[in-house]
Amino acid sequence: MLKIFLLPLELVQILFLLPFAFITRIYPRKIDVGIGPDPLINNIFHKRALVHFGYSAETFCIKPYYITNDFDYIFGSQNLINKIYQCLFRPVFIFSCLRYRSLLIYFNGGPLYPYSVLLWKLEPLLLKVAGIPVVVLAYGGDVQDLLRTPNLYFRHTVMQDYPRHKTRTLLIRKKIELWTQHASHIVGGCDWVDYLYHWDSLMISHFAIDTEAIEYLPKSTTDKKSFSVLHAPNHRQIKGTQHIIDAVQRLKDKGYDIELTLIEKCSNQEVLEKINQADLVVDQLVIGWYAMFAIEAMSRGKPVVCYLREDLIRLYENANLLNRNEIPMINSDCARIEETLESLLLNREILKLKGEDGVDYVTKHHSLEFIGKSFRDIFKSLNILPSQKIHE
């Protein structure tokens, strides 16, 4: 029903947006890189990484998640009045064309994709007419066409957590095709490589963290009886949460003094406080690669259990992005998690070593310095040079 009303409106909007985009080519845009519109915490650190190398950058979104609202521009909420306003006037697109020399977006799309039935298909053209290069990243749900993953258990868990994901499959596939063909630069990484048939540069992952702002306080787990495990099940089936709960309960039944803390729908600050209190962090046991939660834990010297697919490890080692056996995480999956936890309970000296190695690993692969260099090289290749001359 919504399409019946939006389609004629968007056809009329094209008549305005096309000449508008062309005219803005000569407008003196103030900011080197605009990052959005998906309200992801990664964007905040991407901004810091770019600023670290002299780029001016800003984050923007429609409505933030509960994790953080620390974005430069938030264009209202998802109430009906704001949706109508967004549909009628396309303020995010107009703002972006007048302000940003380039964009860093995800496969969902750029400033035109929210509340659009047709315009998202023309967005690459309109941005090209406006003379705005677009770098496209993935984050997960924006590219997960489940027919393309070799991980059948992951496919099964997505069906359980998100049974309506099947209704998005064709749209996801179309957007991957659209941006792969028309983006200025595609960045591949993580397990997202399963879903992409092309990338211009490959990274272990694009997640960045401000390592210099973190005070690493090593915590001994060898001289105390109790043992605390932290897990953040934002997608319970996909993360393997029930397997973790069951494993901890069986270990308790065996007489081990082990406690599991689950954190859900918390702000990022609350998550970081819980990480600092934990002896061990268990990330996910299904997907096959790690993301921001594991990086935040490692940066604070916490040992991390996470499932890492062997084929992905080989990919990044063969691509010279990783040294052999470099990732310091404790590799485990749903079938092995009880065995893994019991082994760590009996050999706690491993935890301190893994924690120390994790700090070094994050500094090497996910610091603002490292990710900033990668982004700097990408934007320079697109003739977007930093406004400030630093870190040459």
First to last CA, the chain: 54
Please tell me the total count of domains within the chain. Answer: 2
The domain that contains 353 carries what CATH number? 3.40.50.2000
The widest CA-to-CA distance across the chain, in whole angstroms, is: 72
In angstroms, rounded to a whole number, what is the distance separating the alpha carbons of residues 30 and 103? Answer: 13
The domain that contains 83 carries what CATH number? 3.40.50
58 shares a domain with 199: yes
165 shares a domain with 141: yes
pTM equals 0.93
142 shares a domain with 267: no
216 shares a domain with 203: no
297 shares a domain with 184: no
Measured from the Cβ of residue 28, the count of other Cβ atoms closer than 10 Å reads: 6
344 shares a domain with 245: yes
6 shares a domain with 103: yes
pLDDT score for 391? 44
Residues 6+ apart with CB under 8 A from 333: 240, 285, 286, 307
Domain presence at residue 181: yes
pLDDT score for 114? 81
Q: Which structural domain, as residue segments, surrounds residue 57?
A: 2-208+369-381
311 shares a domain with 286: yes
351 shares a domain with 295: yes
pLDDT in tens, the chain (392 residues): 556 778 889 999 999 999 999 999 999 999 999 999 999 999 999 999 999 999 999 999 988 887 788 899 999 777 888 888 888 999 999 999 999 999 999 999 999 988 888 999 999 999 999 999 999 999 999 999 999 999 999 999 999 999 999 999 999 999 999 999 999 999 999 999 999 999 999 999 999 999 988 866 656 555 567 899 999 988 899 999 999 999 999 999 999 999 999 998 788 888 899 999 999 999 999 999 999 999 999 999 999 999 999 999 999 999 999 999 999 999 999 999 999 999 999 999 999 999 999 999 999 999 999 999 999 999 999 999 998 765 44
In angstroms, rounded to a whole number, what is the distance separating the alpha carbons of residues 306 and 291? Answer: 10
222 shares a domain with 190: no
160 shares a domain with 12: yes
- Amino acid 209 reads I
* Residue 59: strand pairing partners: 35
